Structure 1
């Protein structure tokens, strides 16, 4: 059975936003406030480029909020979509040629690659921070350059381990392992029962990056030190690569070519017992009557703790940026200011059914996080997020290193035996040094 990205989640969670300790404005008041603050240009129209949704309810909520803005202001907002993998090059081209969408949703530290092409939105960002409890530190780090905001932290897309509970129990485990040693033993037992695991080792913007950075960090490895010196070729990194080479033996074949949609498809087809994904994979089963038994059997948990003894997780982050070339920068800011007001942002979080985690702390009270047990592992994504540039600063170099898939390629090479762990770490060091020199 195969499904498209748009098929993965049909409809929202249907949750009421509930009473929250947030400054609530009516739609009319929120729009009036945004318009008064930024005074949109006469005849303004906007174009937004966003990633293709895995969650239909999330997209529906964003479109509904946009319609409110357009009806009240007369400012038309065209929403275009690209695949997850295509957002990065499309945004980079727009930045370099100086034409295209007014607003773009970028991944991770992509905004750090061309900050001089992006509108300074510090005034808007700090206003929202003061209104809604401040940003989570890592979310803010992705959106700022030299103390100024070049985008608005939009969401953290939580990545958690999703598994078939009955199969884990059949393998002899009363609960999901909490450490890397236990995960390997579980993988062996599941493979013996013909229920293999599978984690993305291909160029999946979300799942591939999240899993491979966890392999590196959980064993104490890192791309660079605090000063930005490349240190990825280390004993700690090699230890992580030796571990993943053993773990890979328990995987379903083909994970080295997976993109973000492939593990969803394999899990929903019943071919996988364990993977790492957003909550969308659960709803793909929950919203299909034929898969009700599978949905009831699914649970989620955070990644096991490795030798360093603490949780270290990379979650996908997305930031809303306005290009400087936009003819309507004030209208763009008014639009985003409205979309971040509590009524709209809570509706968007609710529609996303725990797929998107808030970047402003006050929204942690949204009832979506406690509405279903499977949501719990995703609720703290923004709080536990460690930036991909760890342990050095974010910037053009960390962005380029991620865009070049250095960590993902290193982990995949060692896992599949294309290179020894030592060779893979050495090659990653050489590739990273060309960027960080």
Structure 2
């Protein structure tokens, strides 16, 4: 793989006139460029991805074939395609998947394909770090932000309550919503899907002052704080304040349709609410980023670092500065792409120039989100190469407690021992 050494990054972005047109129907591992995308599989966001593809074609001459894959199926589909040697040229990833994906021998080191200096010229090192594992860049950050709590102002008004600041106030607000808003799920917490449950549980553990795994890999979840967090969630399930079989897409629809007062998501929630409510931008009036409730006044609210990445897999299409795959990746960091796609998703762009654009600086929602979520913390599960197994363990034990199959203490004890075994096996 050739490092870009004699070209300016901006020159690469503008090199469309000299790019070679791609033939239609090219195989995923051939000279054609393909893009597996979960945003393309989401009906509200499909046109936004198509706009990216069209923009790349117009700017560089490179045609990119979209491959839609549901968010929860992307990792599985990539592994299946690896076994059948039909990996896409590029794929959209959640930042928490990268440590596991970086283990694939086919993944491209973008420090070599594009050049670390070129990437750092357009984005802050802390942003680029989302795409790095073991000191190497295996993905470019496409959008960034954080995962925190959102309140529905209309639902709270119906229930006659304000925005809660503490855990006790939060539970009381949920009780009021349950009793005054018919057919509601007051807190639309994720209770299904090992890709979703860990985020909600992690934030609740942090709110109680606990940890799940520290930076050295030591499992810390078997603590009074984590037991209290899971006990709270199990009690809320028993009192019909949260519901079983809820995944993030369900939470978004419940919230958008006025059937949930609170849920946890990334800033792209605004785009989903606009679509699912049928109100468009008028729905912005009831989407309220809020500080995650804390155990006691004065504690620091917590949120989780979040972003979407794009990785590339080895093929003739990704073979140097002039290859169509590298031009596609470079286009994703252009002002044209970064100034349109992230803001349309209600997310923050990743490049320094796009972050300074009026569309970002003058948006009150982005300001409110930044004030509510503060400084996000790293996903304690997602940074490990065995993250899928850890997520499954955590989710199974949380579900067991929520469904009354185990006490919170039993579930946390089992969660800790299983996670410790997984970390020991990982080495």
Question: Which of the five TM-score ranges fits, normalised by the shorter chain?
Answer: 0.7 to 0.9
Displacement after TM superposition at 1:399 (Å): 4.8
RMSD of aligned alpha carbons: 3.5
1:78-136 C-alpha deviation (Å, 9 max, x unpaired) = 01111111111012223344322110112233232242331100253634543334143
Counterpart contact for 1:414–1:420, Cα < 8 Å = yes
Alignment of 1:150 with 2:141, yes or no, is: no
SS of 1:163 mapped into structure 2: strand
Alignment of 1:363 with 2:350, yes or no, is: no
Displacement after TM superposition at 1:368 (Å): 4.1
Counterpart contact for 1:162–1:274, Cα < 8 Å = yes
Question: How many angstroms apart in 2 are the aligned matches of 1:249 and 1:180?
Answer: 17
Task: Name the stretch that deviates more: 329-338 or 80-89.
Answer: 329-338
Alignment of 1:122 with 2:114, yes or no, is: no
Question: How many angstroms apart in 2 are the aligned matches of 1:260 and 1:310?
Answer: 25
Number of positions where the alignment pairs a residue of Structure 1 with one of Structure 2: 398
Counterpart contact for 1:248–1:415, Cα < 8 Å = yes
Match for residue 279 of structure 1 among 247, 254, 270: 270
Cα 1:135–1:154 shift into 2, 3 Å: farther
Query: What residue is the counterpart of 1:219 in the other structure?
Result: 208
Match for residue 235 of structure 2 among 236, 241, 246: 246
Displacement after TM superposition at 1:371 (Å): 5.5
Alignment of 1:342 with 2:332, yes or no, is: no
Displacement after TM superposition at 1:228 (Å): 1.0
Cα 1:333–1:251 shift into 2, 3 Å: farther
Counterpart contact for 1:263–1:275, Cα < 8 Å = yes
Alignment of 1:104 with 2:91, yes or no, is: yes
Query: What residue is the counterpart of 2:253 in the other structure?
Result: 265
Counterpart contact for 1:34–1:338, Cα < 8 Å = no
Alignment of 1:331 with 2:324, yes or no, is: yes
Question: How many angstroms apart in 1 are the aligned matches of 2:154 and 2:98?
Answer: 43
Query: What residue is the counterpart of 1:5 in the other structure?
Result: none
1:357-409 C-alpha deviation (Å, 9 max, x unpaired) = 3334553334444666444444579973322236xx9331335423x2x3333
Cα 1:384–1:147 shift into 2, 3 Å: same
SS of 2:36 mapped into structure 1: strand
Cα 1:141–1:249 shift into 2, 3 Å: farther
1:194-245 C-alpha deviation (Å, 9 max, x unpaired) = 4541323333476534322211222233232332122221222112112222
Question: How many angstroms apart in 1 are the aligned matches of 2:394 and 2:101?
Answer: 22
How does 1:372-411 map onto structure 2 within 5 Å?
A: 373-379=364-370, 384-389=375-380, 394-402=383-391, 404=392, 406-411=393-398
Question: How many angstroms apart in 2 are the aligned matches of 1:382 and 1:328?
Answer: 37
Alignment of 1:228 with 2:229, yes or no, is: no
Question: How many angstroms apart in 2 are the aligned matches of 1:205 and 1:316?
Answer: 17
Question: How many angstroms apart in 2 are the aligned matches of 1:71 and 1:42?
Answer: 13
Query: What residue is the counterpart of 1:424 in the other structure?
Result: 411
Displacement after TM superposition at 1:155 (Å): 2.0
Question: How many angstroms apart in 1 are the aligned matches of 2:44 and 2:9?
Answer: 22
How does 1:17-96 map onto structure 2 within 5 Å?
A: 31-33=13-15, 44-53=31-40, 58-71=45-58, 73-96=60-83
Query: What residue is the counterpart of 1:305 in the other structure?
Result: 294
Cα 1:366–1:301 shift into 2, 3 Å: farther
Task: Name the stretch that deviates more: 312-321 or 40-49.
Answer: 40-49
Match for residue 153 of structure 2 among 165, 180, 191: 165
TM-score w.r.t. the length of structure 1 is 0.78
Counterpart contact for 1:119–1:150, Cα < 8 Å = yes
SS of 2:340 mapped into structure 1: helix
TM-score w.r.t. the length of structure 2 is 0.79
Task: Name the stretch that deviates more: 264-273 or 222-231.
Answer: 264-273
Task: Compare relative contact order (CA 8 Å, sep 6+) and give the higher one, 1 or 2.
Answer: 1
Counterpart contact for 1:153–1:318, Cα < 8 Å = yes
Match for residue 134 of structure 1 among 114, 119, 124: 124
SS of 1:275 mapped into structure 2: strand
SS of 2:258 mapped into structure 1: coil
Counterpart contact for 2:52–2:337, Cα < 8 Å = yes
